[in-house]
Chains A and B, each alone.
Chain A
Amino acid sequence: MNDCSNAEIRDLLPDLLHDHLDASSRTMVLAHVAECVDCRDELELLRSLQKTLNARTPRVDIAYVVNALPKPPARRPQTRSIPLSRRRWSDWRIAAGVTVLIAGGSSVALLRRAPESADLRPPVTDSSANRAIAPAGGGGAATQAPANPTTPSPVATVAQNDDADTAEEGQDGRFGGLSDVQMQTLLNELDGLKAVPVTEPEPVTIRVDVKPGGPEGLR
Chain B
Amino acid sequence: MTDTGAEGSNDLELIARWKNGDERAATELVERHSAALARFAVSSGERSEVDELVQDTFVRAFASIDGFRGESSFRTWLFTIQRRLLIDRRRMEKRRRDRTEIQEDDAATEYDALDTVVADETQRRLQRAVQRLSPTQREVFALRVGEGLSYKEIADAVGTTEGAARVHYHNAMRAVKEFLDE
Q: Which residues of A are in contact with B by a Cβ distance under 8 Å? A: 1, 3, 10-12, 14-15, 17-18, 20-22, 25, 42, 45-46, 48-62, 64-66, 68-75
Q: CB-nearest residue of chain B relative to A7? A: B170
Nearest Cβ in chain B — how far from A197, in angstroms? 62
Is B126 touching A20 in the complex (CB atoms < 8 A)? no
Q: Please indicate the chain A residues that have their CB under 8 angstroms from the CB of B18 in the complex.
A: 72
Also in contact, A20 and B63, with CB within 8 A (given A1-B181, A58-B50, A72-B22): no
Q: Determine if B79 is an interface residue (Cβ-Cβ < 8 Å).
A: no
Is B130 touching A72 in the complex (CB atoms < 8 A)? no
A-B CB proximity, top 4 nearest:
A18-B148, A74-B21, A60-B34, A53-B146
Is B181 touching A69 in the complex (CB atoms < 8 A)? no
Also in contact, A57 and B145, with CB within 8 A (given A12-B1, A21-B3, A66-B30): no
Nearest Cβ in chain B — how far from A153, in angstroms? 68
Is B1 touching A22 in the complex (CB atoms < 8 A)? yes
Also in contact, A64 and B118, with CB within 8 A (given A15-B2, A22-B2, A57-B35): no
Also in contact, A21 and B26, with CB within 8 A (given A49-B145, A60-B38): no
- The number of residue pairs between A and B whose CB atoms lie closer than 8 Å in the complex comes to 130
A24 to B85, alpha carbons, bound, how many Å?
Answer: 39
Q: CB-nearest residue of chain A relative to B41? A: A57
- Assuming A22-B1, A46-B145, A72-B22, what are 18 further A-B pairs, CB within 8 angstroms? A20-B4, A21-B1, A21-B2, A25-B2, A48-B123, A48-B126, A49-B176, A50-B145, A50-B146, A52-B126, A56-B42, A57-B38, A59-B38, A62-B27, A62-B30, A62-B31, A69-B26, A70-B59
Could you tell me the dominant secondary structure of chain B's interface residues?
helix
Is A20 touching B30 in the complex (CB atoms < 8 A)? no
Interface size on B, as a range, is 35 or more
Q: Please indicate the chain A residues that have their CB under 8 angstroms from the CB of B22 in the complex.
A: 72
Which of A52, A58, A68, A74 is B20 in contact with, Cβ under 8 Å? A74
Q: Which residues of B are in contact with A by a Cβ distance under 8 Å? A: 1-4, 18-23, 26-27, 30-31, 34-35, 37-39, 42-43, 50-51, 54-55, 58-59, 62-63, 117-118, 122-123, 126-127, 130, 142, 144-148, 150, 166, 170, 173-174, 176-177, 180-181
A25 to B27, alpha carbons, bound, how many Å?
Answer: 34
Also in contact, A72 and B19, with CB within 8 A (given A20-B3, A21-B3, A48-B122): yes
Nearest Cβ in chain B — how far from A103, in angstroms? 48
Nearest Cβ in chain A — how far from B39, in angstroms? 5
Also in contact, A56 and B118, with CB within 8 A (given A69-B26, A72-B20): yes
A71 to B23, alpha carbons, bound, how many Å?
Answer: 8
Also in contact, A54 and B146, with CB within 8 A (given A20-B2, A45-B177, A64-B55): yes
Also in contact, A75 and B21, with CB within 8 A (given A12-B1, A57-B38, A60-B50): yes
